[in-house]
Amino acid sequence: MTSNEATGLAILADVLSEYRDRISIDGSSKILCTSATVAKHVAEQVKDISTPYGPKFTVVSKDSQTSELGPNITSEPMDGLMAKMDYFSHAITDVSAEDGRSCMEIMKWAKYALQPKGIAVVIALKKQGDAGAEETDLRDRIVKQSKGRVQSLSDVLESAGFETGKIRSTERSVEVEGKRVEAELVLAMKWDQLTA
């Protein structure tokens, strides 16, 4: 696990402890995650409500095989998940390492995969870079690739189709290994006229 992943997980743990009731993960939840590390971490955070029947975690995989990663955690290929639109109750992702275009694709796909009133939890570290590497800011990458049309992670979710009034953005900071790290957190709910 890289230091950036550890930092993202620390922020995710902080978010889940604070917003657990509002996010409302329960035994019937079907949760889409973009990495096995995030899925295992969230499963550990909600183990007090876990049963053999749920919550169920699905990790998007680039492989063509479906595999078990642990209790209630499976990995499925992207092609197999295309049929699961309006299926997941939650989408949890850390887009810190993504470029602007990939970030937009992930958010669009998450919006279509969520059920009505489904919740997306998106975390992006303010500065991204492992030891010895140059730090890059996700906002700078987003602005550059969108040619200035998109200014923040909230704008990415809005462009992906989430309704403006259902997107909440905040900044979080945690101390990891004696270093203060900041991240942008966005909570968004899928909303359409049928759920109004």
pLDDT at position 132 is 44
pLDDT at position 43 is 93
Which helix H or strand E contains 7, and what residues bound it? Answer: helix 3-23
pLDDT at position 143 is 78
pLDDT at position 196 is 55
pLDDT at position 109 is 87
Please answer whether residues 142 and 150 qualify as being in contact, where contact means their C-beta atoms are separated by less than 8 angstroms: yes
pLDDT at position 79 is 79
Task: Give the CATH superfamily of 3-189.
Answer: Vaccinia Virus protein VP39 (3.40.50.150)
C-alpha gyration radius of the chain: 16
pLDDT at position 134 is 46
**Gap between the Cα atoms of 153 and 157, Å rounded:** 6
Q: How many CA atoms lie within 13 A of 66 on its CB side?
A: 8
pLDDT at position 58 is 93
**Gap between the Cα atoms of 110 and 148, Å rounded:** 23
pLDDT at position 100 is 72
**3-state class (DSSP) for residue 118:** strand
User: Any idea where the domains of the chain sit in the sequence?
Assistant: 3-189
Series of mean pLDDT values for 10-residue runs along the chain (196 residues)? 78 88 91 91 91 91 77 86 88 84 84 92 77 60 77 86 90 84 90 66
pLDDT at position 28 is 92
pLDDT at position 101 is 77
**Gap between the Cα atoms of 76 and 182, Å rounded:** 31
186 CB-near residues (< 8 Å, 6+ apart)? 120, 121, 122, 123, 124, 153, 154, 157, 167, 168, 169, 170
Cβ neighbours of 160 (radius 10 Å): 19
